[in-house]
């Protein structure tokens, strides 16, 4: 698989082209949360550089990388990044009332210095009943971590269970249906058994 082209850039760093070992990069990216994990780059002739993965381009059909973007971070300098939100527990409304847990926001954006980057945020949902919801404002963050996502945005909610009602047969639905084979039509009603003997029939010539 060889090496993959990449670029590293930062606030005070002009874009620098480099290559990374494809096999090692794939193994690393599959084992970490690439959005918020600090990756140390060992660049020949340079000091090790702490970075965040900003973009990964993959082959559409094969397990191969096409290009990787790294962003250099600096000690004590704030960065903005997305942090996953994980729901913990089973809501009472799901357990007892067959409600449906719907998570509408899977990550939130924060700003902090590299040493305070959270791995994830956990929201306890056990006490939620049908109709209850949690918002970004319910996320507890450490001192020095600022939430940038709007606080009023909904993270998850317990929705009312969906009930599928079977339609009731309409009255008179069977009216007008053809008579079953062998049944006689009421007096005065014609059947579709074909023309009666007499005028109106045409003989075919042999």
Residue extents of the structural domains in the chain: 3-72, 79-159
Is the model's pTM score more than 0.75? no
For residue 80, is pLDDT > 70?
yes
pLDDT one-digit tens code per residue, 182-205: 555 555 555 554 444 544 444 444
What is the sign, positive or negative, of the torsion defined by CA atoms of 193, 199, 202, 206? positive
113: which residues sit within 8 A by CB, 6+ positions away? Answer: 75, 76, 77, 78, 79, 144
pLDDT one-digit tens code per residue, 33-46: 888 999 999 988 88
Q: Which CATH class is domain 3-72?
A: mainly beta
pLDDT at 44: 84
Contact assessment for residue 56 and residue 64, using Cβ atoms and an 8 Å cutoff: no
Q: 């600090």: which residue's tokens?
A: 38
- C-alpha to C-alpha distance for 159 and 183, rounded to whole angstroms: 53
**What CATH number labels 79-159?**
2.170.120.20
- Vertex 26: Cα angle to 29 and 10 (nearest 5): 55
């Amino acid at each position: 698989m060889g090496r993959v082209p990449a670029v590293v850039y930062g606030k005070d760093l002009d874009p620098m082209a480099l290559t990374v070992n494809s096999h090692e990069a794939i193994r690393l990216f599959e084992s970490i949360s690439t959005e918020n994990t600090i990756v140390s780059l060992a660049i020949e002739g340079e000091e090790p550089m702490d970075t965040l993965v900003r973009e990964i381009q993959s082959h559409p059909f094969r397990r191969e990388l096409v290009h990787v973007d790294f962003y250099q971070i600096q000690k004590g300098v704030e960065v903005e990044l997305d942090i996953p939100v994980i729901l913990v527990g089973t809501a009472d409304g799901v357990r007892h009332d067959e409600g449906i847990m719907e998570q509408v926001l899977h990550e939130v954006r924060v700003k902090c210095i590299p040493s305070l980057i959270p791995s994830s945020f956990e929201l306890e949902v056990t006490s939620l009943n049908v109709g209850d919801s949690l918002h970004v404002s319910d996320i507890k963050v450490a001192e020095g971590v600022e939430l940038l996502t709007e606080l009023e945005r909904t993270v998850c909610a317990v929705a009312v269970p969906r009930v599928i009602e079977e339609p009731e047969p309409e009255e008179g639905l069977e009216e007008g249906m053809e008579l079953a084979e062998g049944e006689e039509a009421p007096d005065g009603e014609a059947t579709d058994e074909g023309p009666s003997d007499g005028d109106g029939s045409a003989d075919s010539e042999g």
